[in-house]
Amino acid sequence: MLKLKCKASTFKELKQLDYNAYKMYKNVEDDSYEFLYKNVDYLVFGILMSNQGLFVLVSELADTYLVLRPLALFDIIDYNMPDIWESSSGIAFENSNFKVYWFYTFKEFGDDEFFYEKLIEGDEKLEKLLSKLKKEYY
């Protein structure tokens, strides 16, 4: 299934590797990414497109959590996407601005606009779902 290898864990590293990709994310403020390690493979659980760029929802195989990171920090090593992913979209209100996004992921995630927040907070139901999806599709 869709798999990536981390080529840069910060935008400073990305700027040195690929300046054009770096410029695409100039509006992203965070340059320190926890749980992102160079030369490590990551499984993709979703793709998010917003006015800030293209992002991927990734996890290491052994992890029980997901992180949302800019796609430009990765190289694609397996292009096969799960055939059961579905498209969804939404509007988020952040820093007094509306942000429109498009999300392509497993139906269970796309149907719940707060699934990511719930997963970060340790929602048992979502943790079990993530574990099931890893076993089933990866």
Supply the DSSP symbol for 10.
Answer: S
**66 residue type, one letter:** L
Looking at residue 98, its pLDDT comes to 63
Tell me what pLDDT residue 97 has.
Answer: 65
In terms of residue numbers, what domain contains 41?
A: 3-137
pLDDT the model gives residue 92: 63
Q: How many domains does the chain have?
A: 1
The string of pLDDT tens digits covering residues 20-78 is 887 777 666 655 566 788 899 999 999 988 777 788 888 876 666 788 888 989 999 99
Residues listed for the chain: 138
| pTM for this entry | 0.81
Instruction: Quote the pLDDT of residue 76.
Output: 94
Backbone angles phi, psi at 15, to 5 degrees: -60, -40
Q: Which residues of 77-115 are buried (b: 16+ CB within 10 A; e: fewer)?
A: eeeeeeeebeebeeeeeeeeeeeebebbbbebbbeeeeb
> 92 or 120: which carries more pLDDT confidence?
120
Residue 31's pLDDT is 58
Structure tokens at 34: 């926890």
Alpha-carbon gap, residue 120 to 123, rounded angstroms: 8
